[in-house]
Structure 1
Amino acid sequence: MSDGQTIRRAPLRVVVIAASWQERASLQALVEANPALEFLGSAPDAEKLVDCLAGSMPDVVVTDIAPEASDALKTLLELSPVSPSLVLLSDDPDSDWIFDALPADAVAILPRNAMPAEIVVSIEAVAAGLCVLTPDILARLLAETRPSRQKGSGEPFEALTLREIEVLAMLADGLGNKEIARHLDISDNTVKFHLSSIFGKLGATNRTEAVMLGMRHGFIMV
């Protein structure tokens, strides 16, 4: 500014969801030690956290919830028209459930043993609208979104995952991406990831060909 004054930004409001009280305490101390961050509260699950927030909405949610508990997180995200960004800490950051979290406005996916500095940098990154991914997850994303190539007639097909078979069966029923997403309770982007993987494994170039090849190789029956 021309008068020499600097703009002072408000601290980023951060909440913590973690099953272990030790983990919650550790993450709380990490947030409170950084003047650029403001700790709003913590809880073992999203429902309990909503009760203690008293209407205050965070900018960033730091969570280590297990995949089967991910529905609880939606409770918090649906309360505000502007969803908080996510920093996910996981023992298995390469699992399929991770990809259902990716369509958030901004997300960081870190191993549970990430260094404190990595967590702080990730909080600031997602608040700025960026995504933070480990090299393994990034490599998987790039592989699944790569254009598929037709396989030779003698080349073996890679087995589809159970979720990919579900998506392929819905393709055979004539469902579109949004309908598949609704039936499986996943995002449109996650459907696209699965379709890209299916096309690549089967060597298909379109949805009709994927269904035909899926039937031919016994992945689905119509």
Structure 2
Amino acid sequence: MSDGQMVHMATVRVAVIAASSRVRASLQTLVEANPALAFLASATDAETLVDCLAGLVSDVVVADIEPHASDALKTLFELGHAPPALVLLIDDPDSDWILDTLPADAVAILPRNAIPAEIVVAIEAVAAGLCVLSPEILARLLAGRKPSRQAASGEPFEALTLREIEVLAMLADGLGNKEIARQLDISENTVKYHLSSIFGKLGATNRTEAVMLGMRYGFVMV
């Protein structure tokens, strides 16, 4: 069994930080409803969470925070063990804050109105060492900066949405349009729409090329 397969099979241990008790309860329910995830603890801030964990180590911390509270997250990265990955739920983030102060290498940054499925996908992605950004936040990060990747045509690389990443991952697994539609509970026409968008953004001309480019850009895990 490969290391990649073991990562997918392992239960991801999740902790939650949120000032709102309603948000904490909602995120706890979301985690506990997914058999691939294990809920450890929740708290209003990072320092309190450390006390609640009582020596337990989380793989991922989901944090609903304000930008001015970012320094408090560093508490989680000074405990002498491998730092947890982060899933941040935040409104209108400032790009300089994101680039300069986030302590984690594996991080997802989502808007507070992200749907539950997007949060779960983000948790699993950062647990595997990836970064996840919404299209709006990625556009903000790239504003005024030279893109690091470009399509073969020379046009700036455009990020895939979370749904498009899901579809691309299923392509990599060899699934056809009907099976993708069934698993995602969408129509085949919607699958075709996503494929067209994926091909256009990656500069791919067929499914195989799209998967290869997806691997190169880090959207598909080998």
**1:186: which partner in 2?**
none
The reply on whether 1:57 has 2:28 as its aligned counterpart is no
Please tell me whether the aligned partners of residues 74 and 103 of structure 2 are also in contact (alpha carbons under 8 angstroms): no
* Long gaps (5+) in structure 2: 148-222
Identity across the alignment (%): 74
Residue 24 of structure 2 corresponds to 24
Structure 1 counterpart of 2:122:
122
Would you say 1:43 and 2:43 are equivalent positions?
yes
Cα deviation, residue 45, structure 1: 0.3
- Normalised to the residue count of structure 2, the TM-score between the two structures is 0.59
Partner SS, residue 47 of structure 2: helix
Give the conservation status (yes or no) of the 8 Å contact 2:60–2:127. Answer: yes
Could you tell me how far apart the structure 1 residues matched to 2:16 and 2:28 are?
7
Note the 1:1-222 alignment, pairs <5 A: 9-102=9-102, 104-146=104-146
Contact between 1:94 and 1:137, CA under 8 Å: does it hold in 2? Answer: no
> In the alignment, is the contact (CA less than 8 A) between 1:64 and 1:90 conserved in 2?
yes
Partner of 2:219: none
Aligned residue identity for 1:111:
P
**Amino acid in structure 2 at the alignment position of 1:26:** S
Residues 9-59 of structure 1 deviation map (CA, whole Å, 9 limit, x = unaligned)? 331000000000000000000000000000000000011110111111100
- SS of the residue 1:97 aligns to: helix
Residue identity matched to 1:44: T
SS of the aligned residue for 2:9 comes to coil
CA RMSD of aligned residues (A): 2.1
1:43/1:49 contact within 8 Å kept: yes
For structure 1, the 5+ residue unaligned runs are: 148-222
Tell me, what secondary structure is at the counterpart of 1:88?
strand
TM-score (norm 1): 0.59
Partners of 1:95 and 1:138 in 2: CA distance: 9
Counterpart of 2:142 in 1: which secondary structure? Answer: helix
